[in-house]
Structure 1
């Protein structure tokens, strides 16, 4: 005790409170201090067991986490590779689509539309009709010339 002085009656009262009747009876017959039995390993053994168990469980958990991390990294890498392949396919499809769109725009600007075709068809009909009329006029003219020629031939054959 740190500097407290108790009277003998106070010491006996504290001693009677702190020890059981069996311990008091044993202490009466001996001279000196009674050695107290400590459990073997006691507190120190508990700490060492705890530290050993903690280190083993920590090591196993770190190993498990590393394995899980390795598997997750592999899966992530495979997903990234699949994503790259998919992106490559999509970009090639987009390139083809852009090429087709350019060709379509070229055909639209250079190609004929329905109105152009119908206008051209109308012009061709007018040209054909005009040629047909000219052919008929030419036939009529040729027929007239033949008639005139036959008249001339008849008149000359009569004269001769």
Structure 2
């Protein structure tokens, strides 16, 4: 008895099917590796490591908040100094402005007095020459 077996022709796996199968296998392997890594990292056997990292983070945040508070208090102190300087400079400028105004008024008063004196001198001179005109015209 001779039985002949028929050999089916082999069909190559197409590029699309091979790419899809390779992608799926790689995705599953990467997912499993990541899953086991996370499980190993956060096991109950290692709580001290995570607690230490949390404590370090809390300590650094606390330190930074204290430094930030110091900087804010320094800014407040500088603002107060600035306000006091601003008010003292304003007072000084007002005082100088008042002094300048009084000096200007005093000078204006002196100029007015001088003008009045010059006008009175001119009038006296013109009266003198008017009354003694005959004496000086003789030649």
TM-score by length of 2: 0.55
Q: Which runs of structure 1 show a deviation greater than 3 angstroms over 4 or more consecutive aligned residues?
A: 11-16, 30-35
Deviation at 1:65, TM superposition (A): 0.3
Count matched residues: 107
Matched, 1:72 2:92: no
Segments of 5+ residues of structure 1 without an aligned counterpart are 123-160
Describe the shift of the 1:12–1:53 C-alpha distance in structure 2 as closer, same or farther (beyond 3 A). Answer: farther
**Cα deviation per residue 1:51-103 (whole Å; 9 max; x = unaligned)?**
41342022101111012112212211221121122112202211211211221
Describe the shift of the 1:112–1:95 C-alpha distance in structure 2 as closer, same or farther (beyond 3 A). Answer: same
Segments of 5+ residues of structure 2 without an aligned counterpart are 1-23
TM-score by length of 1: 0.49
Matched, 1:118 2:136: yes
Could you say what secondary structure the match of 1:111 adopts? helix
Match of residue 10 from structure 1: 30
Equivalences for residues 19-98 of structure 1 within 5 A: 27=40, 31=43, 35=47, 36=50, 37-38=53-54, 39-42=56-59, 44-45=61-62, 48-98=65-115
**CA root-mean-square deviation:** 3.7
Compare CA radii of gyration and give the structure with the larger one: 1
